[in-house]
Amino acid sequence: MSRERLRVAFDTVASLYQKARPDYPADLYSELLAMTGVEPPAHLLEIGCGPGKATLPLARAGFRITAVELGDALAVEARRRLRDFPGVSVVTSSFEAWEPPTGVLFDLVYAATAWKWVDPEVKYEKAAALLPSGGHLAVWDAQHAFPPDFDVFFTEIQQVYDEMGEGDGSTWPPPWPEDQPDPTATEFETSGHFDVIGTRRYVWSLRYTTEEYIALLETFSGHIAMQAAKREHLYDEVRRRLAVRPERRLTRHWLAVLTIGRRL
């Protein structure tokens, strides 16, 4: 399925996304502000805010935020959660199509688990145009991490993905978090618009019950797009494997990679 179709899939799970997806580490926000030097009430631009997962912490810190969100339902969820912050506005649009007010520049442009969905031919040039010289672009995500002690459940369930033809063909297990490449840093540099001033990695773990984990899977674009029969088979296998565990829970590790660039 194309990137264009996958990136709109999240709107179908707008009400589930905020609760099912993990919060980003507090240290990430602290280091973001320390490295960029932005302070409230600076005006920030968020690209792809979803239901406000990364918007809320910065709104609570006192920043003014313009948040652009492609999905209608996700934008509604974001407005509901951010209604107590008059300095925050949510615009329903793709970043590519959005027309900012004439002459407006932002103190920081950022994207959380959304940057990869933006057209690579547009995103760096447009972000740079919305920043003053020396302004900052920050992007981060939250992906599955596999430290040496990762839960064996994931080796077992990977076999199910492979048997269904839903594996990605990568070597198993994936690289350890510290060895995961950061292609975004390379993109920053090759864009011709930004110098990378720092990257940070954050690894943490969360415990999930069976239904909590299935709810999480329901928010991933690949699972949303999966054929219904395959998806139900996968979820039945998740339930079967966790049912034999005394606590009926699994541990999933997360990795967030924060990349910050300074506009040339």
Q: Is residue 87 domain-resident?
A: yes
Q: Is residue 214 domain-resident?
A: no
Q: Is residue 243 domain-resident?
A: no
Domain CATH for 201: 3.40.50.150
Q: Is residue 57 domain-resident?
A: yes
Tokens encoding 262: 């300074």
Model pLDDT, residue 235:
97
Q: Is residue 238 domain-resident?
A: no
- Our CA angle for 76, 56, 211, nearest 5°, is 70
Q: Is residue 245 domain-resident?
A: no
Query: Tens of pLDDT along 32-88?
Result: 999 999 999 999 999 999 999 999 999 999 999 999 999 999 999 999 999 999 999
Q: Is residue 141 domain-resident?
A: yes
Is residue 127 within 8 Å of residue 101, measured between CB atoms?
A: no
How many domains does the chain contain in total?
Answer: 1
Model pLDDT, residue 55:
98
Q: Is residue 215 domain-resident?
A: no
Of 192, 206, 188, residue with least CA distance to 257: 188
SS3 of residue 163 by DSSP: helix
Model pLDDT, residue 3:
58
- The predicted model gives 210-236 an average pLDDT of 94
**Domain span holding position 16:** 3-146+176-206+251-263
Tokens encoding 57: 């912490």
Distance, in Å, from the CA atom of 14 to the CA atom of 76, rounded to the nearest integer, reads 9
Beta strands in the chain (DSSP E): 43-47, 64-69, 88-92, 108-112, 136-140, 143-145, 194-209, 249-263
Query: Tens of pLDDT along 132-175?
Result: 999 999 999 999 999 999 999 999 999 999 999 888 888 899 99
